[in-house]
Structure 1
């Protein structure tokens, strides 16, 4: 779906529970989309872990999420980070 809509959230912590809560927001925002592809790097909270957080999350949402992981030393994700840095410097820094 090409809407240009951005779903974002800032948090003071970076824990698995925080990410699950954010992903619940994503699931609600795109509830009418049949498949949602998520690209993640290799941060530890992006994996299932002992709690099977993403397996259970996906089951709650009819397995509509497809998780893709970047290779351990992927540099292409840096391009996304560069894009957001430019966006911040040129547009967002001076807005209220």
Structure 2
């Protein structure tokens, strides 16, 4: 319902984290597509560590607010919520669609929500991450920027992620469900109820 008929005077955000994004540096340059052979890359690489991307997709506008952090615990999640809180204009209610990850329900996160009454969390059912619209953004980011990329370190990886978000936000498109509402609700009815 939040995606198809968002509340008036509110911001609907889809929030999640993409953890363990590896900064992989290929041992040799990628082989480009050529006549008679496909594009290829080496099977071996040097690993330079990982980063976690916290992202908030504005469902109505299509813009993404993202922040890379070293880990993905409740403390980092609260820091990201503070970033989003500062970015959303005062006076607007904030409805957030997110999954049932433990750090999203941590007592300190619940205390943060109590101090910020304009926020409302809406949890997706267990094993239904496809209901979280930001997952589509993560998929596109992986295919277009990360999958065949080579990164000399975590700073290089984070810079590539920030550039992709900036490019995405230059011509954002609002999130639109392509599946009929009846099919979505049928799938929801088959999913188990999330624990409270």
TM, length-normalised to structure 1: 0.72
Distance (whole Å) between structure 2 residues aligned to residue 87 and residue 45 of structure 1? 23
3-state SS of paired residue (2:96) = strand
Structure with higher strand content: 2
State whether structure 2 residue 131 is matched by structure 1 residue 34: no
Shift of residue 33, structure 1, vs aligned partner: 4.3
1:55 maps to which residue? 110
Provide the alpha-carbon RMSD of the alignment. 2.7
State whether structure 2 residue 71 is matched by structure 1 residue 13: yes
- 1:23 pairs, out of 71, 75, 81, with 81
2:135 maps to which residue? 81
- 1:64 pairs, out of 118, 121, 136, with 118
3-state SS of paired residue (1:10) = strand
Residue by residue over 1:13-41, the C-alpha shift from the partner in whole angstroms, topping out at 9 and shown as x without a partner, is 01100000000000010142421011111
In structure 2, stretches of 5+ residues that fail to align are 1-10, 12-59, 150-159, 164-196
Q: How many positions carry a matched residue from both structures?
A: 91
In structure 1, stretches of 5+ residues that fail to align are none
Structure with higher helix content: 1
Greater Cα radius of gyration, structure 1 or 2: 2
Write out the 4+ residue segments of structure 1 that deviate beyond 6 Å after TM superposition. none
